[in-house]
Amino acid sequence: MNVFYLPDAQIGTISFPEEESKHIVKVLRMKEGDGFCVTDGNGSLYDAELIDAHPKRAMANLSNQRAGYDIRDFKVSIAIAPTKLNERTEWFLEKATEIGIDEVKLFSSYHSERRVANVERFKKIVVSAMKQSVKSKMPLVEEMVSFDKLVKQNYDGQKFIAWIDDDVKDQLCDLYKKGENALVLIGPEGDFSKEEVALAKENGFVPVSLGEARLRTETAAVVACHTIQLINQMK
Amino acid sequence: MNVFYLPDAQIGTISFPEEESKHIVKVLRMKEGDGFCVTDGNGSLYDAELIDAHPKRAMANLSNQRAGYDIRDFKVSIAIAPTKLNERTEWFLEKATEIGIDEVKLFSSYHSERRVANVERFKKIVVSAMKQSVKSKMPLVEEMVSFDKLVKQNYDGQKFIAWIDDDVKDQLCDLYKKGENALVLIGPEGDFSKEEVALAKENGFVPVSLGEARLRTETAAVVACHTIQLINQMK
């Protein structure tokens, strides 16, 4: 099933921007009358029928607006320091979008390997993963902020900080309460500094372990995301 | 902490093959007296001290043999059809090794996108992930077999087949029994054929869902692996 993203999707006749039109008509070679699916990235999926196979402003008729199956009553937020290799952060974005994530918060910290992030490129990765996994809600990718600023932001839900330390005995999977919003801070490749951990604690973040395995930053972020999802999924 | 893999590691003086020696002496520029860690890939970690920084047959003194923290009383086995893009299968191998997996079974099936697998390359990925995540046990990557042959193999544990079907109501996370060995078959990009699902059922595989999210093959494989690990991890 081909899914296209149109933020201003609505029941009735709509036209696609040039890039999407080109993809529909030139790449996928769709003809008038062909059917596909459209997501507005804001919780709705639509059935679409191509009514004008124009290569620059293709038009379609949208019907059957419905909420996607990815609408949840809890929110999953992961904060991560972009990795040295961009492809690792991008891989996390793709996988977390497939598994289900609501917010990605990017931060730079004392041991960060990367001080600038190409958020526009990150958003493109998220959009394509959303389309590929037939999601109706687009995860929010926020601009990078400093760790200090991040931990002082308000968050309506449980707040955790995950890093490698033998003193951290509690596990995310044991402390997270099913049905609640959760924000998990994932340590950068150089891990958090003692001062950062202390600052996070002062601001209400609970130290947790993701288990005994030594995980790369992007793996830890996906594991944290899946942990929250799985606990909500379990009967 | 640098970790090296030496299948025949043992207490006392050992020498490294040319490639590892080059890495230790030329790449990492280690000097005599420098310390690192060695895994035999079979459950043991050792402390090592370089005693001869020879670029082609470096020698070290091994001491303090100990079991790795990745020794489990249950076995995680995932069977997957190699993806069209090798990098996606390789990504699964890296992540599953970090998270914890014992066996990777490769199969070709009716809708497989790839009929041949470079198992030697896959093993290299697993070795490097094992070293990077300080594991003591190397996951076994088996040669590719046909789906029919795979489902008829004996397996001492719970057997599941995961694929996308609205009729599959049970979830892996609800049916898997903590502490038991588990083998999960993951559908190829083209998914399983009806005949393959039937054959798997005949051979004792229980149909399960991994949740509502539409996951790519390699994501489903990592999610299945993490699901087994997490259920065993939870208090």
Q: Give the domain ranges of chain B.
A: 3-67, 76-233
Which of A101, A226, A227, A229 would best serve as a mutation to test chain B binding (most B beta carbons within 10 A)?
Answer: A226
- Does B115 have pLDDT greater than 90? no
How is residue A6 written in tokens?
């149109």
B227–A223: do the CB atoms touch at under 8 Å? no
pLDDT band at A189 (very low <50, low <70, confident <90, very high): confident
Q: Which of A108-112, A114-118, B87-91 has the highest mean pLDDT?
A: B87-91
Reduce the DSSP state of residue B151 to 3 states and report it. helix
Q: How far apart are CA B50 and CA B44, in angstroms?
A: 19
pLDDT at residue A68 in the model: 81
B234–A100: do the CB atoms touch at under 8 Å? no
- Does A216 have pLDDT greater than 90? yes
CATH architecture of the domain B3-67 equals: Beta Barrel (2.40)
Q: Span A90-105, mean pLDDT?
A: 97
Q: Which residue in this structure is represented by tokens 């083998």?
A: B183
Q: How far apart are CA A11 and CA B72, in angstroms?
A: 54
- Does B184 have pLDDT greater than 90? yes
A133–B215: do the CB atoms touch at under 8 Å? yes
Query: Which of A39, A40, A38, A42 has its CA nearest to residue A50?
Result: A38
The model's pTM: 0.93
- Please write the tens of the pLDDT for every residue from A26-77: 999 999 999 999 999 999 999 999 999 999 999 999 999 998 878 899 999 9
Question: Which residues of chain A have a Cβ shorter than 8 Å from any chain B Cβ?
Answer: 69-70, 91, 95, 98-100, 132-134, 171, 173-174, 211-216, 219, 222-223, 226-227, 229-230, 233-235
Q: Which residue in this structure is represented by tokens 């599953």?
A: B96
Q: What sign does the dihedral B89-B90-B92-B96 (CA atoms) show?
A: positive
Q: How far apart are CA A56 and CA A24, in angstroms?
A: 10
CATH code matching the domain that covers A76-233, chosen among 3.40.190.10, 3.40.50.1220, 1.20.120.850, 3.40.1280.10: 3.40.1280.10
Q: How far apart are CA A98 and CA A139, in angstroms?
A: 10
- Closest by Cβ to B91, choosing from A69, A91, A233: A91
Q: Return the number of other C-beta atoms located less than 10 Å from residue A149's C-beta.
A: 11
Contacts of B36 (CB under 8 A, 6+ apart): B1, B2, B3, B4, B24, B30, B48, B50, B60
Question: Which residues of chain B have a Cβ shorter than 8 Å from any chain A Cβ?
Answer: 69-70, 91, 95, 98-100, 132-134, 171, 173-174, 211-216, 219, 222-223, 226-227, 229-230, 233-235
Beta strands in chain B (DSSP E): 3-5, 12-15, 35-39, 44-52, 59-67, 76-80, 103-108, 140-141, 145-146, 158-162, 182-186, 206-208
DSSP code of A26?
I
Query: Which of B119, B134, B54 has its CA nearest to residue B86?
Result: B119
- Please write the tens of the pLDDT for every residue from A64-97: 999 887 889 999 999 999 999 999 999 999 999 9
pLDDT at residue B71 in the model: 85
Q: How far apart are CA B174 and CA B78, in angstroms?
A: 18
Q: Return the number of other C-beta atoms located less than 10 Å from residue B229's C-beta.
A: 22
- Please write the tens of the pLDDT for every residue from B71-87: 899 999 999 999 999 99
Do residues A82 and A228 touch, judged by C-beta distance below 8 A? no
DSSP code of A70?
T
Q: How far apart are CA B175 and CA B213, in angstroms?
A: 18
Q: What does DSSP say about strands A158-162 and A182-186: parallel, antiparallel, or unpaired?
A: parallel
Q: Span A90-113, mean pLDDT?
A: 95
pLDDT at residue A116 in the model: 87
Output the 3-class SS for B6-61.
CCCCCCEEEECCHHHHHHHHHHCCCCCCCEEEEECCECEEEEEEEEECCCCCCEEE
